[in-house]
Structure 1
């Protein structure tokens, strides 16, 4: 039983590392409370906002954004797509927050959310 749990935790860590995401160590709700509407915010490990994006369309991110440990989407109806340095693209839905394990090099905020 312990071997299976140990393997599962290593497998999860590997998947998270490959996708640029990380296991949450702070509350996603705390990250969401600090980001004002209509922004997608990138925060440090202490929940301090580093950068905020609100324009629709693809944009390159700043060096400061690439050091972020959290992202939160405070928009009500719009999704954002995050491109990591590895080329992996992930979606963040309205009201969602999650931890980052790798730098986001570009963001695409869309009108609406499929």
Structure 2
């Protein structure tokens, strides 16, 4: 377990286009950062998502927060959809746990600890794992 607190890292990733993802053997995609993009939405989202939560934001409004480590995905009944002009921001404030985000097209993306990023596409589930790496 890390004892020092580091500032939340912000990375912009594309979630729907599988280009730029590294596929793992179980069909999980590990998102690779794309070109640096302005991170105004993730920065403001990170400010309103306290440790130890993984939070979802749409248009700067928190639409969900998750804390429990689970063995399976927690369904998102609202199925929020992010677009290029209005992405879903996911912020993982946990220091040692990754968060898996599942999309309606079957893609799963791993969000490392202390990261915030924007996604496009329809989110259907989230799972927090006690693993420190994707």
TM-score, normalising length: structure 1: 0.72
Counterpart contact for 1:36–1:74, Cα < 8 Å: yes
Q: Which residue of 2 aligns with 1:10?
A: none
The alpha carbon displacement at 1:98 in A equals: 0.8
Q: Which residue of 1 aligns with 2:110?
A: 91
2:125 aligned with 1:106, yes or no?
A: yes
Q: Which one has a larger percent helix, Structure 1 or Structure 2?
A: 1
2:62 aligned with 1:49, yes or no?
A: yes
SS in structure 1 of the partner of residue 113 of structure 2: coil
**Unpaired runs of 5+ in structure 1?**
1-14
**Unpaired runs of 5+ in structure 2?**
1-13, 19-30, 83-87
2:52 aligned with 1:38, yes or no?
A: yes
The alpha carbon displacement at 1:113 in A equals: 1.4
State the number of aligned residues: 97
Q: Which residue of 1 aligns with 2:76?
A: 61
SS in structure 2 of the partner of residue 105 of structure 1: strand
SS in structure 1 of the partner of residue 74 of structure 2: strand
The alpha carbon displacement at 1:87 in A equals: 0.5
Distance 1:111 1:91 in 2: 12
Larger radius of gyration: 1
TM-score, normalising length: structure 2: 0.62
Q: Which residue of 1 aligns with 2:17?
A: 18
1:14-71: CA deviations, max 9, x gaps? x65424x9x95652222211111111100012x22111011111211130x5246211
The alpha carbon displacement at 1:107 in A equals: 0.9
Distance 2:15 2:69 in 1: 27
